[in-house]
Every structure is written in structure tokens, then in C-alpha cells.
């Protein structure tokens, strides 16, 4: 009996250590996969003021699919954390703003097959954006991303559904850590502003839209 009790005590201790180790491992895995902080990458719309631009006397539309509008993206932040946001939904007001800076009328289009809506509103062109994003941070201590990349691939179709124009824009934002500590969404906002500001200039300079 003297030999049995120490062995039983040792086994129970080892089991307790294993259980504690597994519990900590599960907790760490849960934190690594679930810690995604919500940010918004939509910049202030007043940053896209273009009152000096004479607007073109044409009506245009833009199309973003319902699935894209609901699409949530998760990309890296700092300290092993992640950030989540809705790139299409948060960029839609920006797209509408820049198109409104250029053309006299701008309409959201619910379906590319809605020919009656397109015809009745005399829509000349339909703009369709594709947005890809990525982020990272130079800090291991704070979670907001300091670096953000936006790839904006926008095409235009005529009223008959023919693709007539396409432009791919890549923009980057590299922000200081004190700045993103104050505004957690800053890098994303700046990258989106750069991408859509460049898109506005590309559309303005394209002769076929005049």
C-alpha cells in the first residue's frame, strides 16, 4: 500500500497538468481565431469635393451585387489580432460621391438585367467596381493596422451591356502608430481615399465619357 498511494498521487498530478495545458491551448487558439476588431474604412465624403469640375450632362449608374454589399473581410492587424470590415458597403457612398462629382445624375442599379430601369433613366454608362484589400501592422503591441492596401478594379459598360472601359488602381497607406492608435480605421480610410480619388481623375480624363 505504501507504494500505491504515491503512484496514484503522481498520476492525478500529471492528469491535472495535462488538463491545464490543454485548457490553456484551447483558450489561446480561441483567442487567435476570434479576436477580430471592427473598423470602418469609409473616409469622410467631404474629402472628395470637386466643385471646380464642370459636370457632364449624362446619367450613369453603378452596380454592386447584394452578396458583395454583405461581404465581410477579415485581414491582419497588430499583435496577432485581426480587423473586420465591409469593403463594398463602406465604399459605396464614396463611389456614388465621385460619380456625382462628374456626372449630372447617378443611380444605383439593383440588377444589370433591369433594362427598363436603365432605359427609363437614360443611363449611358454603368460602373462596376471590384475591391480587394489587405492590411498589416508594424506593431506587436496595438491591434489597429498601420498599413493598408486597396486594389480597385473598375469597369464600365454601356447601356447595351458591352464593356467599354476598365481601370485597375492599387493604393497603399502607411500610417504612424500614434495616428492609428487615435483612429483605428485611419489606414483603411486613407487607402480608400487614394484609390477612389485616382479613379475620379481617371474617369474625368477619359474622353469617351465626355
Q: How far is CA 152 from the centre of its chain?
A: 10
The pLDDT of residue 5 is: 46
pLDDT of res. 52: 78
Query: Would you state the pLDDT for residue 53?
Result: 80
Q: Name the pTM for this structure.
A: 0.82
pLDDT value for 17: 54
Which residues in the chain come in under a pLDDT of 50? Answer: 1-2, 4-5, 9-10, 27, 30-31, 33-34
Angle between helical axes of 186-205 and 87-102 (0-180°, round to 10): 40
**Residue 144, Cβ density class (10 Å: 0-12 exposed, 13-18 middle, ≥19 buried):** buried
Q: Is 6 exposed, middle or buried (0-12, 13-18, 19+ CB in 10 A)?
A: exposed
pLDDT for 30: 47
Task: Give the H/E segment covering residue 200.
Answer: helix 186-205
Contact 108, 129 (CB under 8 A): no
pLDDT, position 18: 64
pLDDT of residue 49: 80
CB 87 within 8 A of CB 188: no
Per DSSP, the three-state class of 187 is: helix
Annotate 173-185 with b (16+ C-beta within 10 A) or e (fewer). bebeeeebbeebb
In this prediction, residue 176 carries a pLDDT of 96
Amino acid at each position: 500500500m505504501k507504494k500505491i498511494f504515491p503512484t496514484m498521487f503522481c498520476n492525478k498530478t500529471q492528469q491535472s497538468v495535462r488538463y491545464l495545458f490543454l485548457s490553456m491551448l484551447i483558450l489561446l487558439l480561441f483567442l487567435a481565431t476570434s479576436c477580430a476588431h471592427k473598423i470602418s474604412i469609409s473616409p469622410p465624403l467631404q474629402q472628395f469635393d470637386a466643385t471646380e469640375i464642370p459636370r457632364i450632362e449624362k446619367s450613369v449608374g453603378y452596380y454592386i451585387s447584394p452578396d458583395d454589399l454583405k461581404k465581410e473581410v477579415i485581414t491582419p492587424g497588430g499583435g496577432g489580432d485581426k480587423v473586420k470590415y465591409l469593403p463594398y458597403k463602406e465604399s459605396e457612398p464614396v463611389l456614388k460621391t465621385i460619380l456625382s462629382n462628374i456626372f449630372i445624375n447617378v443611380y444605383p442599379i439593383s440588377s444589370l438585367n433591369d433594362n427598363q430601369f436603365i432605359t427609363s433613366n437614360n443611363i449611358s454608362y454603368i460602373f462596376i467596381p471590384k475591391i480587394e484589400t489587405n492590411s498589416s501592422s508594424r506593431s506587436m503591441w496595438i491591434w489597429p493596422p498601420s498599413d493598408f492596401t486597396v486594389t480597385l478594379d473598375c469597369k464600365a459598360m454601356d447601356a447595351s451591356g458591352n464593356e467599354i472601359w476598365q481601370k485597375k488602381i492599387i493604393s497603399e497607406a502607411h500610417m504612424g502608430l500614434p495616428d492609428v492608435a487615435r483612429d483605428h480605421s485611419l489606414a483603411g480610410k486613407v487607402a480608400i481615399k487614394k484609390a477612389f480619388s485616382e479613379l475620379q481623375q481617371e474617369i474625368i480624363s477619359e474622353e469617351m465619357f465626355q
